[in-house]
Amino acid sequence: QVQLKESGPGLVQPSETLSLTCTVSGFSLTSYSVSWVRQPSGKGPEWMGRMWYDGDTAYNSALKSRLSISRDTSKNQVFLKMNSLQTDDTGTYYCTRDWETGRPYYYVMDAWGQGASVTVSS
């Protein structure tokens, strides 16, 4: 059974760094890529970045200067770090499993974690 679970602090001070962990089970990080997606309350999701199955990374250019994604395959974990947080970074942060559709190199998010609620406030 494919599962993803996000963990991390619920409250972050403005200008501080957010650190989140995604722990996966039911699939291998060396076979599937994992994305981070965030969603402000009542709004559409925003793709943040991806840890490819081969260890490479891809980032949304809007966040690239602040964002870092890494992994520990021995622990089945993917990590997100984002610095210089502001109030508009408040929202729910999800990790997702990326699944390649029938078309090579095209990926959709076929499994999502429960989400980690993050509030940026002093």
Residues that bind other proteins (CB under 8 A): 43-47, 58, 60-62, 94, 101-103, 106-115
Q: Least distance from C-beta 122 to other proteins, angstroms? A: 27
CA-atom Rg of the chain in angstroms:
14
Q: Partners of 11 in the beta sheet?
A: 119
Q: Least distance from C-beta 57 to other proteins, angstroms? A: 12
Give which of 93, 122, 88 is closest to 14, Cα–Cα: 122
Q: Least distance from C-beta 30 to other proteins, angstroms? A: 22
Q: Least distance from C-beta 45 to other proteins, angstroms? A: 5
Closest to other proteins by CB, 79 vs 94, is: 94
- Rounded to whole angstroms, how far apart are CA atoms 51 and 49? 7
CA torsion angle 121 78 36 39 (round to 10): -40
Closest to other proteins by CB, 12 vs 116, is: 116
Strands ordered across the beta sheet of 77-82 = 3-7, 18-25, 77-82, 67-72
Closest to other proteins by CB, 41 vs 74, is: 41
Closest to other proteins by CB, 18 vs 116, is: 116
